Structure 1
Amino acid sequence: MATGIGIVVIGRNEGSRLERCLTSLVGAADKVVYVDSGSTDGSVQMALTLGVEVLELDLAIPFTAARARNEGFACVQRLLPALRYVQFVDGDCEVASGWLPKAQAFLDAQPEVAVVCGRRRERFPQRSIYNLLCDLEWDTPIGEAKACGGDALMRADAFAAMSGFRPELIAGEEPELCVRLRAAGWKVWRLVDEMTLHDAAMTRFSQWWQRSLRAGYAFAEGAFLHGTASEQHWLRESRRAWFWGLGIPLAIIAASLVLGGSGLLLLLVYPLQVVRLARRGDRSARENWLQAFFLVLGKFPEMFGQVKFLLNRFGTGKSVLIEYK
């Protein structure tokens, strides 16, 4: 038993993925809370069978993953007054055996660190290029980091002092929280140790497009909230989406109107960018080329995500979840 650790798992209709997740956590912490957001696949009953505390969200209030994690944390606090650390886990992830003791030992030895995460891997990277792209995305540098993802062990007092995640954010809530934690003097760290197995279950181009659009939305909202701060949170990512997703296409149209067909030569900037990124990669040739191609292609859905945020923020639009599965 990992003393002082509570776990918050969030999910909706995750089925066997949730069962693997909860099974990997049985006996791993003092308290496990599963926060369900309207599942219709028996997830609640299955979690109860495994002896997990279940919190069913009031769906009359707009749902976000950030809100689910906050309510799960509040529940763990009530049930475990001696709470020191909280591990957040997405319901489509299985936690690696041994992760929690290693992460807890690191936080015990590093009082300036508020958040620690490890290596998240895709369970089935071979099933689709989109799963593989996720696996490559999760492989971030070891050591001090700017942000974590949805799976991380956090100090309960630091999380509470920040009032948790911004519940209105539909994406990008973890990096946004890390911005505020680091501004308060805390550090975020990534260990080399295996942390979770994630099941993206992305097999279609449309899923990848929606996920990339959501990323663009998150970039726009992050830049809106913290773009003027010293680190200019996600400002560069937002500018790149506008440049590659809209600026260059407009330039190509303008050049074609002035120069005729020769203006289309500007289209070559896209394959040239793919070559540049692929040559800079440090993985296998196949992985480098795939990642480079989709990084460039992804600027188009990211740009649409930026537009969606602007319409929601300054127009009559309403923030709704952007889901890919």
Structure 2
Amino acid sequence: MISSIGAVAIGRNEGERLRHCLTSLIQQVDRVVYVDSGSRDGSVALARSLGVEVVELDTSQAFTAARGRNAGVEALRADGLPDHIQFVDGDCLLVQGWIAAGQAELNRDPTLGLVTGWRSEIHRDASVYNQMCDIEWHRPAGEIRSCGGDMLVRSTAFDKVDGFNPALICSEDEDFCLRVRAAGFTARRLPLDMTRHDANLTRFGQWWQRNVRSGHGFAEVGGMHGTHFVAERRRVWLYGAVLPLLILLALLAALPLVALILLAIYGLSWWRTARGLKAQGQPGKEAAQHAAFYTLAKLPNLQGMLFYFWRRARGQTATLIEYK
């Protein structure tokens, strides 16, 4: 069975990363649409020079990844929507052979709404933050509940759920997957390399802001899908809010021993996380470093969650939380 396929890449000021992304797509799919969110680095001209169709989002509206992906699909639809759509971020390149494998899986199993694979970092060891991204992308293969934005989607599944939710500023990919599954489709991660990613995270502030964005997603998408992000939200409330408050109260009450015992809970969390990472094959030093950041991440996560609740209470429209 031969199925038509198109690709939608989204980006903003990705520079040479975009060239690598679009070139990798052109080699594997029938049509490519690049959706630009107000770039000022020549991305639009670059895409057009490669013969790629470009959609420039209206700058009077807030940019979101969901809005960009939907706009790309509408551009594909103008000439007849392909059977399958590969979504990819502009800082990723598609691994050779992924499309053939992904399409074969979708054609083999008509219940599948989408397939995804493994993403890996191009410059994994450039920073501890890149290392953590690389580990984050490599999840177990098999049936999945949700995944990131790099995915190969059956167009009928996309239409059945009306695409991505453009109001979401983050975790729109998780929300999309959950709705696809609720519509009666399944989702699967194949044990194959899919994309190479260039996170380019070199500063602590970037890492912090990325985790603020994650926390916002925990609160918003978790609230929309009550059983999703439950464990993540509990950990954020415990380690980001409850324990710090109890430690502060213990200090104010002149109970330093109680404060130390409470503080030791963070040490226990770090130790358990480091032990788990080592059991997964990470070197000891790397596991210890990553565990420290995973423990600390609850604070920016809390900031993101509180930001979501604050803007919802004020009826404010969300704006992108950018970290690059």
TM class by smaller structure: over 0.9
Q: Does 1:272 align with 2:271?
A: no
State the partner residue of 1:9.
Answer: 9
Aligned pairs for 1:158-307 within 5 A: 158-227=157-226, 232-265=227-260, 266-281=262-277, 282-284=280-282, 285-307=284-306
TM-score by length of 2: 0.96
State the partner residue of 2:57.
Answer: 57
Task: Give distance in 2, aligned partners of 1:283 and 1:185.
Answer: 36
Contact in 2 for aligned 1:3/1:29 (Cα 8 Å)? no
> In 2 relative to 1, CA 222–239 (structure 1 residues): closer, same or farther, beyond 3 Å?
same
Shift of 1:255: 2.1
> In 2 relative to 1, CA 245–48 (structure 1 residues): closer, same or farther, beyond 3 Å?
same
Shift of 1:3: 4.2
In structure 2, give the amino acid aligned to 1:267: L
SS at match of 2:126: coil
Contact in 1 for aligned 2:117/2:189 (Cα 8 Å)? yes
Contact in 2 for aligned 1:35/1:57 (Cα 8 Å)? yes
SS at match of 2:78: helix
Task: Give distance in 1, aligned partners of 2:132 and 2:231.
Answer: 21
Contact in 2 for aligned 1:3/1:30 (Cα 8 Å)? no
Shift of 1:315: 2.1
Contact in 1 for aligned 2:160/2:183 (Cα 8 Å)? no
Shift of 1:167: 0.2
Aligned pairs for 1:142-157 within 5 A: 142-157=141-156
Shift of 1:82: 5.2
SS at match of 2:124: coil
Shift of 1:317: 4.2
Task: Give distance in 1, aligned partners of 2:59 and 2:192.
Answer: 36
Shift of 1:239: 2.0
Task: Give distance in 1, aligned partners of 2:4 and 2:143.
Answer: 24
Shift of 1:114: 0.6
Q: Does 1:93 align with 2:92?
A: yes
Aligned length: 319
Contact in 1 for aligned 2:3/2:84 (Cα 8 Å)? no
In structure 1, give the amino acid aligned to 2:7: I
Task: Give distance in 2, aligned partners of 1:236 and 1:119.
Answer: 23
State the partner residue of 1:66.
Answer: 66
Task: Write the deviation string for residues 236-292 of structure 1: whole angstroms up to 9, x where unpaired.
Answer: 211211111010011112222334322321211111110011112212223322332
Q: Which runs of 5+ in 2 are unaligned?
A: none
SS at match of 2:96: coil
Q: Which runs of 5+ in 1 are unaligned?
A: none
Task: Write the deviation string for residues 111-145 of structure 1: whole angstroms up to 9, x where unpaired.
Answer: 11111011100110111000011001001111111
Task: Give distance in 2, aligned partners of 1:190 and 1:259.
Answer: 52
Task: Give distance in 2, aligned partners of 1:223 and 1:118.
Answer: 24
Task: Write the deviation string for residues 159-189 of structure 1: whole angstroms up to 9, x where unpaired.
Answer: 0110001001000001111111111221110
Shift of 1:77: 1.4
State the partner residue of 2:35.
Answer: 35
Task: Give distance in 2, aligned partners of 1:104 and 1:287.
Answer: 36
In structure 2, give the amino acid aligned to 1:93: C
Task: Give distance in 2, aligned partners of 1:99 and 1:136.
Answer: 20
Task: Give distance in 1, aligned partners of 2:27 and 2:196.
Answer: 18
Task: Give distance in 1, aligned partners of 2:53 and 2:268.
Answer: 53
SS at match of 2:320: coil
Task: Give distance in 1, aligned partners of 2:303 and 2:276.
Answer: 27
Contact in 1 for aligned 2:147/2:174 (Cα 8 Å)? yes
Identity over aligned residues, as a percent? 46
In structure 2, give the amino acid aligned to 1:300: L
Contact in 2 for aligned 1:147/1:188 (Cα 8 Å)? yes
State the partner residue of 2:106.
Answer: 107
Contact in 2 for aligned 1:18/1:92 (Cα 8 Å)? yes
Task: Give distance in 2, aligned partners of 1:287 and 1:5.
Answer: 40
RMSD: 1.2
Task: Give distance in 2, aligned partners of 1:197 and 1:66.
Answer: 21
In structure 2, give the amino acid aligned to 1:279: R
